[in-house]
Structure 1
Amino acid sequence: MSTKETHSNCASRNPSAASRGPAPDKKTPTAPPRAAGGSARGRGSGSSGTARGGSRGPSGVLEYRARSSCFREAPLCFKLDSSVVGAVIGRGGTKIKEIQESTGSKIQIIKGDSESETRIYGNKENQKSAKLMIEEIVKKIEKYSKEDTKIGNTLKSSCNENGPDKKVPVIDWEAIKQDHLHYIKTKWDGLPPIKKDFYIESSKTKLMSQTQVDKWREENNNIMCDDLRENEKRIIPNPVCTFEDAFDHYPDVMANIKKVGFTRPTPIQSQAWPIILKGIDLIGIAQTGTGKTLAYLMPGFIHLDLQPETREKRDGPGMLVLTPTRELALQVESECKKYTYKGIKSICIYGGGDRRGQIEHVTKGVDIVIATPGRLNDLQMNEFINLNSITYLVLDEADKMLDMGFEPQIMKILLDVRPDRQTIMTSATWPDAVRRLSQKYLNDPMIVYVGTLDLAAVNTVKQKIIITTEQEKPALIHSFIDSMKPEDKVIIFVGRKLIADDISSDLSIKGLPVQSLHGNREQSDRERALNEFKTGIVRILIATDLASRGLDVLDITHVFNFDFPRNLEEYVHRVGRTGRAGHTGESITLLTRNDWKIAGELINILERANQEIPNELILMAERYKQHKQKKDEERNMARTRGRTRNIY
């Protein structure tokens, strides 16, 4: 115990001492006593503290005094270890104030180097209670101190068992790596074998010379191919010029294609099909509306059907398609159902849908899962779906998924997908984030891109740019709608959900059939809006960028950008909603001064698509360039002035 009781009648020899407070020690003089009623509001921690109602003398006296008329009994005196004084006083004097108020006593602490004298004033009962409370505090401190010392000694002995010369054990990283590899091997051990190569090259394709191949690729939107394997490069398969060249040995696939009525493969399909059918991972970069969905679906059907283990014996789906939005997921599911192949069953899993119904369908057994990352990750974490059986993985519109912040969910999902799978990634653009994702999750892929890796809108769309003001925008949109022909169909893109609702309300009041599509609407309302737009019940759809991807409506004649999107990639996707599958279209885009940052890049996109560039847009780009140069010069001058001040 750190409390050492001394003479309990330390003030009895001098009867007036109790009334005045204790006499100052010659060695540790104290300040004069304060008036009655001073409370202990000292600030104490460790070995120092201050207090109202007390004072600090030259040798560090901490006093909590009382008026002599209040306490006639001699003070109770005892010693405290100076290291516990701060804890007894408490932060801001709260602890000692609590003791005084609860016991009706007054306390004085005279601080010393190693020990501090504590004096408690009041009647004997109050003195005894206060001392007991102080002793409880000291016991707790000693208990915690012993535990800390024990832990410290344990740590010291574990790190240095045989004295100070003993070296700290070195972590065996190689052993940890081997353990991890063993865990991975064990995790995937026992899975059925996987087959990837199903390509039977036609004689016509095989006989194509390199000159013919180069010419064909150049004439079909300048198809470019590359092998991203770091070691020995592989030969890029020749493109297939007809459907028969790719699927002549798969009559069920050919029957589906003939039923739909397609005449020839799109550029991305003609080059992607041979690569995917050979079992090689693929990155497909192509403008929106160029047939990327069919490019991975058809080989996926064949892959699922011809695995060594039949579909009936698998413990889960064999194909997974991850998409960024519900609308795109539903669009892919629609394509799956359109090209029915040997009873393959698919399900669409997305947030906002019937979760219980989705779980029931998955647990009954499906072959293809089309999902948004958030909802699939939810079912995965709750063990409603088994992803170990996935052998064919598609990351559709990977740039959009990353832009929407889905990478953490994608990473969690792919932890449960076997690493020897075949993976296809599609994207309309090729930013650094998509390149990083492809390096992480694809095995030695080949890349096929149609047109250019630079941003470019489809050349089947006439792009019109109008420089205006925010106030003039409503009049321009009403003028456009009044000029629409009966067969025209338009998507009006806006930047905010509120604007979409406002425009929709204005047009509805005028008696125009219109629908809106944005994230605040219920999923059932969104599906109804899309269905009415596709079937022609309404010919005007007001939407946010939710509809810039995955909306595959072939008869859209116009895109009207009421607000310019947040980046050029979204502009390209918006424009791509029209001019699809060989049709032509027109886009009208309203620009204000607030959009002048993108004027230069927009000019580049228009030039690549051989579009007319208005003089107002060129002037806007020049003004922004001058403005930016002026700001850069001002920043440089400010830095120079700052460096000059630092020198002097």
Structure 2
Amino acid sequence: MSDWEADSEEDGPGGAAPKPSRALPAWRPATEAASAGVCENRAAGGDKKERGDGWKGRPRQGLAREPWQSGPLEYRARGSPGGRGRESARSPPLCFHLDNALVGTVIGRGGAKIKELEESSGCKIQVVRGNCDAEIKIFGGNDKQTKAKMLIDDLVERSGQSNSGEKYEKDSFKHQHVGTTYCHASRSGALMSVNNNPKQSINWTSLRENKAKYEAMKWADLPPIEKIFYKESPNIASMSQDEVDRQRKENNNITCDDLKESEKRRIPNPICKFEDAFQHYPDVMANIRKVGFQTPTPIQSQAWPIVLQGFDLIGIAQTGTGKTLAYLMPGFIHLDSQPIPREKRGGPGMLVLTPTRELALQVEAECSKYSYKGIKSICIYGGGDRKGQISMVTKGVDIVIATPGRLNDLQMNNFINLRSITYLVLDEADRMLDMGFEPQIMKILLDVRPDRQTIMTSATWPDGVRRLAKSYLKDPMIVYVGTLDLAAVNTVEQKVVVIPEEEKRAFTRYFIDTMKSEDKVIIFVGKKLTADDLSSDFGLQGIPVQSLHGNREQCDREQALEDFKKGRVRILIATDLASRGLDVQDITHVFNFDFPRNIEEYVHRVGRTGRAGRSGEAVTLVTRNDWRIASELIEILARGNQVIPEELISMAERYKQFQLKKEMEKDCGKPRGRSWKNA
């Protein structure tokens, strides 16, 4: 199969041609084969069934069983030698129904009560669960069925409930067999059906009309929220519009907008120094001086005045531009300045949702670095010590940093109270949607008070993020740095190498051999298996590397990151798990061994280097299997004023011609066949 086939099955970036199929033996239905084996055996004079492969089965029984019969066959014809007569024949099963709420009373933990009932009555009991109720089937003789039924009645009565909502009557009862519902007779002789209560329909119209009233009742007992903490400095307030525009343009072309549908509000002027935002908060300023930052990043200079004024914010900026501190610093002030003291709120006040464990741990590290007035934080993520996380949450924390899956688990099991959340952050919202976390996010946000302040950060602005913002943010302002068009970090030099698939490993080894002693590189691959394979190869060649992907244990993942950050190894081989949330300042190179599944992930990969104003280099290997993304990659390179290889341009042109030919054949109603070979 040609590498240029558009319909080949994709298994990782760019897709791969399927392996040649093996020749398979002629197939025939299993029943036909079994029949053939039996016939051959009978022809040979055997009186036992034998499979076609020569395996001898069990002796044939003299009589066939009915479908409802179980256990050893006890029925023998009347008068037959050794027969016990029809009186010993098994009766049809006694069937009746129980409400699902009562089934546990009969079954017991691990089916223990069923086993006891079977031993006591000498019959077989089967429970078939349904949507609303369960069918109980009792197999055995009439006397045994009656005994088992009385034992079940006694269990249900002792539980203090009955299937129909009233007490069971045990003095007399009537049952019907095989597929009919068991009915009880009261002392007056009246029959009552087990499931005769009709279900009441839900009045959805009434619920919708009273939605506001129910919402108000749900949140009526919560304390008020304070959101406004910004005092604009005289220097910032006196800026003219020309000065504001020039400041935004010089700060990587900051663009702002108010998404409120009615009357637009004034967008705060960007700050120039840290003191312009935090001059009234000396503890924050002390943290900033301790770290040694000189000036705010573009996203920080515009986001801080907006968030400190209490507005919801959508912040869109390239990776590595300081988005974490853009919401953390105002969050500290928000938590400490609420009318109700932190210890009396009954739960955390700030929630940060992140897509991956690595990003969650990164945010927690930032919280710990900028400690503020004893605020406690915890990181909750799948794969971590669940028992330990529950213990810490129940003891009391101020900030919860979590992945949606694990937080939803703790929330549904009532280990964490989210009603006290007043400051919510959806970090890397586009990545959370890509990973399929939207249902969990929706469940979580239903338990967070609606008048909260919400911050959403993202590196891109796709339709899914717009929908999420419209649903869960209230009249937000949007700040984006650079452009809403997808673009890679401008401090990174991007190099693209068009290469045959079979030469990728040799080129990678050549790249590693040319690395300097101070260089540090992430090699991105498309599959977990490829990461392990490359790691093993380099290890056997004496090259120290670490690998990072989702199949590794959490402790191994943390150790790999620690070794990479500390410089014990200078090569990290990773899947797209590391494309976001990995903040290692001294990464000099990103090497794309496999092209990612989409162009957005390419931008995020490139953003792992060139962070915090440093320069970096990204090398990307492109094979003929990646021709679908050639046009999009050319656009990214053009926006960054990067060199575009002629082979990449030629690849994009051929793919366009191939797509055009497919459309023409589709319009003409002709079969596509193998026309792609001529593309």
TM tier relative to shorter chain: 0.7 to 0.9
Could you tell me which of 197, 218, 223 is aligned with 2:249?
218
Residues in 1 aligned to 2:411 and 2:477: alpha-carbon distance in whole angstroms:
30
Question: Is 2:595 the partner of 1:589?
Answer: no
- TM-score, normalized by length of structure 2? 0.71
Residues in 1 aligned to 2:423 and 2:653: alpha-carbon distance in whole angstroms:
49
Q: How does 1:240-389 map to 2 (within 5 A)?
A: 240-389=271-420
Residues in 2 aligned to 1:142 and 1:542: alpha-carbon distance in whole angstroms:
62
Q: Is the 8 A contact 2:525 2:593 kept in 1?
A: yes
Question: Is 2:639 the partner of 1:608?
Answer: yes
Partner of 1:508: 539
Residue by residue over 1:538-582, the C-alpha shift from the partner in whole angstroms, topping out at 9 and shown as x without a partner, is 111111101000111111000000000000110000000000111
Residues in 1 aligned to 2:275 and 2:231: alpha-carbon distance in whole angstroms:
11
What is the CA-CA distance between 1:226 and the residue it aligns to?
0.9
Task: Report the residue type matching 1:527 in the other structure.
Answer: E
Residue by residue over 1:415-451, the C-alpha shift from the partner in whole angstroms, topping out at 9 and shown as x without a partner, is 1111110000000001101111111111111111111
Could you tell me which of 231, 235, 255 is aligned with 1:200?
231
Residues in 2 aligned to 1:622 and 1:127: alpha-carbon distance in whole angstroms:
85
Unaligned runs of 5+ in 2: 1-65, 69-73, 79-83, 93-141, 143-174, 185-191, 673-679
- TM-score, normalized by length of structure 1? 0.75
What is the CA-CA distance between 1:354 and the residue it aligns to?
1.1
Could you tell me which of 479, 504, 509 is aligned with 1:478?
509
Task: Report the residue type matching 1:345 in the other structure.
Answer: K
Task: Report the residue type matching 2:398 in the other structure.
Answer: D
Question: Is 2:656 the partner of 1:625?
Answer: yes
Question: Is 2:506 the partner of 1:489?
Answer: no
Q: Is the 8 A contact 2:665 2:671 kept in 1?
A: no
Residues in 2 aligned to 1:245 and 1:346: alpha-carbon distance in whole angstroms:
27
What is the CA-CA distance between 1:284 and the residue it aligns to?
0.5
Q: Is the alpha carbon distance of 1:203 and 1:515 closer, same or farther for their aligned partners in structure 2, counting shifts above 3 Å?
A: same
Partner of 2:133: none
RMSD (CA atoms): 3.3
What is the CA-CA distance between 1:146 and the residue it aligns to?
12
Task: Report the residue type matching 1:201 in the other structure.
Answer: E
Q: Is the alpha carbon distance of 1:637 and 1:306 closer, same or farther for their aligned partners in structure 2, counting shifts above 3 Å?
A: same
Specify the SS of the correspondent of 1:293: helix
Residues in 2 aligned to 1:206 and 1:360: alpha-carbon distance in whole angstroms:
47
Q: How does 1:410-421 map to 2 (within 5 A)?
A: 410-421=441-452
Task: Report the residue type matching 1:623 in the other structure.
Answer: R
What is the CA-CA distance between 1:171 and the residue it aligns to?
8.2
What is the CA-CA distance between 1:209 and the residue it aligns to?
1.2
Question: Is 2:213 the partner of 1:182?
Answer: yes
What is the CA-CA distance between 1:181 and the residue it aligns to?
3.2
Q: How does 1:120-199 map to 2 (within 5 A)?
A: 174-199=205-230
Question: Is 2:465 the partner of 1:402?
Answer: no
Q: Is the alpha carbon distance of 1:437 and 1:142 closer, same or farther for their aligned partners in structure 2, counting shifts above 3 Å?
A: closer
Residues in 2 aligned to 1:127 and 1:542: alpha-carbon distance in whole angstroms:
75
Specify the SS of the correspondent of 1:425: strand
What is the CA-CA distance between 1:514 and the residue it aligns to?
1.2
Task: Report the residue type matching 1:581 in the other structure.
Answer: A
Task: Report the residue type matching 1:453 in the other structure.
Answer: L
What is the CA-CA distance between 1:175 and the residue it aligns to?
2.9
Q: Is the alpha carbon distance of 1:391 and 1:515 closer, same or farther for their aligned partners in structure 2, counting shifts above 3 Å?
A: same
Q: Is the alpha carbon distance of 1:420 and 1:619 closer, same or farther for their aligned partners in structure 2, counting shifts above 3 Å?
A: same
What is the CA-CA distance between 1:128 and the residue it aligns to?
12
Partner of 2:470: 439
What is the CA-CA distance between 1:510 and the residue it aligns to?
2.1
Residues in 2 aligned to 1:94 and 1:241: alpha-carbon distance in whole angstroms:
83
Residue by residue over 1:106-147, the C-alpha shift from the partner in whole angstroms, topping out at 9 and shown as x without a partner, is xxxxxxxxxxxxxxxxxxx999999x99xx9x9759967999
What is the CA-CA distance between 1:177 and the residue it aligns to?
2.6
Task: Report the residue type matching 2:305 in the other structure.
Answer: P
Partner of 2:102: none
Residue by residue over 1:362-417, the C-alpha shift from the partner in whole angstroms, topping out at 9 and shown as x without a partner, is 11111111111111111111111111111000000000001001111111111111
Q: Is the alpha carbon distance of 1:510 and 1:232 closer, same or farther for their aligned partners in structure 2, counting shifts above 3 Å?
A: same
Identity of aligned residues (%): 71
Q: Is the 8 A contact 2:430 2:465 kept in 1?
A: yes
Partner of 1:529: 560
Q: How does 1:438-477 map to 2 (within 5 A)?
A: 438-477=469-508
Residues in 1 aligned to 2:176 and 2:414: alpha-carbon distance in whole angstroms:
51
What is the CA-CA distance between 1:498 and the residue it aligns to?
1.2
Q: How does 1:12-51 map to 2 (within 5 A)?
A: none
Residue by residue over 1:451-510, the C-alpha shift from the partner in whole angstroms, topping out at 9 and shown as x without a partner, is 111110011000000001111001100000000001100000001111111111121222
Residues in 1 aligned to 2:408 and 2:180: alpha-carbon distance in whole angstroms:
48
Q: Is the alpha carbon distance of 1:346 and 1:127 closer, same or farther for their aligned partners in structure 2, counting shifts above 3 Å?
A: closer
Q: Is the alpha carbon distance of 1:611 and 1:309 closer, same or farther for their aligned partners in structure 2, counting shifts above 3 Å?
A: same
Q: Is the 8 A contact 2:252 2:298 kept in 1?
A: yes
Residues in 1 aligned to 2:383 and 2:292: alpha-carbon distance in whole angstroms:
34
Partner of 1:576: 607
Specify the SS of the correspondent of 1:553: coil
Q: Is the alpha carbon distance of 1:204 and 1:172 closer, same or farther for their aligned partners in structure 2, counting shifts above 3 Å?
A: same
Specify the SS of the correspondent of 1:320: strand
Specify the SS of the correspondent of 1:541: strand
Residues in 2 aligned to 1:546 and 1:139: alpha-carbon distance in whole angstroms:
61
Partner of 1:46: none
Task: Report the residue type matching 2:307 in the other structure.
Answer: I
Partner of 2:264: 233
Residues in 2 aligned to 1:314 and 1:397: alpha-carbon distance in whole angstroms:
28
Task: Report the residue type matching 1:351 in the other structure.
Answer: G
Question: Is 2:584 the partner of 1:550?
Answer: no
What is the CA-CA distance between 1:227 and the residue it aligns to?
0.9
Residue by residue over 1:35-56, the C-alpha shift from the partner in whole angstroms, topping out at 9 and shown as x without a partner, is xxxxxxxxxxxxxxxxxxxxxx
Residues in 1 aligned to 2:87 and 2:584: alpha-carbon distance in whole angstroms:
89
Partner of 1:428: 459
Name which structure has the greater RCO, CA cutoff 8 Å, separation 6+. 2
Specify the SS of the correspondent of 1:420: coil
Task: Report the residue type matching 1:386 in the other structure.
Answer: N
Residues in 1 aligned to 2:324 and 2:227: alpha-carbon distance in whole angstroms:
19
Residues in 1 aligned to 2:246 and 2:180: alpha-carbon distance in whole angstroms:
86
Residue by residue over 1:231-280, the C-alpha shift from the partner in whole angstroms, topping out at 9 and shown as x without a partner, is 11111111111111111111111111111111111111111101100110
Residues in 1 aligned to 2:265 and 2:670: alpha-carbon distance in whole angstroms:
53
Task: Report the residue type matching 1:512 in the other structure.
Answer: I
Name the structure with the higher helix share.
1
What is the CA-CA distance between 1:182 and the residue it aligns to?
3.2
Question: Is 2:520 the partner of 1:499?
Answer: no
Residues in 2 aligned to 1:225 and 1:271: alpha-carbon distance in whole angstroms:
8
Q: Is the alpha carbon distance of 1:510 and 1:191 closer, same or farther for their aligned partners in structure 2, counting shifts above 3 Å?
A: same
Unaligned runs of 5+ in 1: 1-92, 96-100, 106-124, 160-168, 642-648
Residues in 2 aligned to 1:637 and 1:145: alpha-carbon distance in whole angstroms:
65
Residues in 1 aligned to 2:427 and 2:668: alpha-carbon distance in whole angstroms:
48
Q: Which moved more, 1:560-569 or 1:233-242?
A: 233-242
Task: Report the residue type matching 1:600 in the other structure.
Answer: S
Task: Report the residue type matching 1:217 in the other structure.
Answer: R
Specify the SS of the correspondent of 1:617: helix
